[in-house]
Amino acid sequence: QTTSPFWVALFAALRFTGTMFAPFYGIVVDRYDRRKLLIFSRLGFAGIALCILLLSFTGQLQIWHVFVLTALAGMGRSFDNVTRQTFIADLVERGDLPNAIALTRTGRDATQIFAPIVGGVLLDLIGLNWTYLLVMALHLSGVFFMTLLRPPGRTPTARGSSVLSNLAESFRYAGKNQIILALLLLAFLVNLTGFPMTLGLAPVYAKDVLGTTSTGLGLLLGAYSVGSFMGSIAIAGVADLRRLGRLMVLGAVVWHLGILVLSQTSWFGAALAILALSGLAQALSMVTMSILLLGNTSADIRGRIMGLRSLAVYGLPIGLLISGGIADGVSVAAALAINGIVGMVVTVAIVLRFRGVWRLA
């Protein structure tokens, strides 16, 4: 256990170690069968759960095991994200892409709401060993369901050239396409300044500013997840979105505004409402960003571009470390305020530089 915001943020950052390899994952996704890659990913997660199960069962589980397995899971999560998002575009027509991505995000948000609750109950009722046996079984069930999918045939790309030339091609494509470049910059920004609030600073904010317990922290994160869930549903329920660019930008601005207001709030009820609104804005921004990236990228390079998109997630561990340092040296309120202000200002600057983003549909 630790009371240091920096060490809490460092542990959170460890979960995103795989982002540095994301561009290479994108090359693999373009070269090989995406369904088989997702099966491989599920097997990897099942293997990590099995390792925890065996170490716990034999009484050998130590803290360094948790750190190593967390890093491995982080690498697997990045690979899984690149593959899964690209595979979605293979399964549906372009006109159905917004609903498909929004529904996928809705499922993820629902999991974030209920999984911690269910996991905590299971740990109390049946213990760590049986809980991770169930986790492993769930991952293996994912393998089974993936075998039932029969996606349309596609010709793998990015073959016949070296890995470095494939990588260079993806960077050239993003550099020449102003829309893709702007979306990638926005993705990096929100990871740098937006996500550290809930993925690193929330425990410290709940304790130091609100003076609440772990139960209060759970309610705060639950409010954020419920807001995110509602935002995803809102997009999934709209068949025709004509102003995706505006929705993405406004969502990012409101998200960061919520972070700024939260930094000045010490009342628990107000914090709940602000986090719910921030979660809603976050979902509107992130879901539309994924839709626009997939919809404006050529199919033959889509995996590599989504790899670059996942590389933008590397802004999160950087942001976690910076925010944790500010929270340690000054205060958690100062860290939140700086993130909120920087996020809003840079979002507006990107939109002014790449004006086509505002008009994206």
DSSP string, 148-183: H--PPP----S-SS-HHHHHHHHHHHHHH-HHHHHH
The two tokens of residue 208 are 């130091």
Helices (H), the chain: 5-14, 22-31, 34-57, 63-91, 97-148, 163-176, 178-193, 196, 202-204, 214-236, 244-263, 268-295, 302-311, 315-329, 332-353
pLDDT at residue number 125: 86
The two tokens of residue 205 are 């904010």
Counting as low any pLDDT under 70, the low residues of the chain are 1-13, 153-161, 238-241, 361
The two tokens of residue 264 are 């000045």
Q: Which of 306, 315, 311 is nearest to 346 (CA)?
A: 315
- Residue spans of the domains in the chain: they are 5-359
Residue 242 carries which DSSP code?
Answer: S
Contact 30, 157 (CB under 8 A): yes
pLDDT at residue number 20: 76
pLDDT at residue number 217: 85
Q: Is 41 exposed, middle or buried (0-12, 13-18, 19+ CB in 10 A)?
A: buried
Residues in the chain: 361
The two tokens of residue 116 are 């911690």
| pLDDT tens per residue across span 253-302 | 999 999 999 999 999 999 999 999 999 999 999 999 988 888 888 877 88
Task: Output the CA–CA distances (angstroms, integers) from residue 165 to 3, 161, 308, in the order listed.
Answer: 46, 6, 15
Domain 5-359: give its CATH code: 1.20.1250.20
pLDDT at residue number 267: 93
Predicted TM-score (pTM) of this structure: 0.79
pLDDT at residue number 254: 97
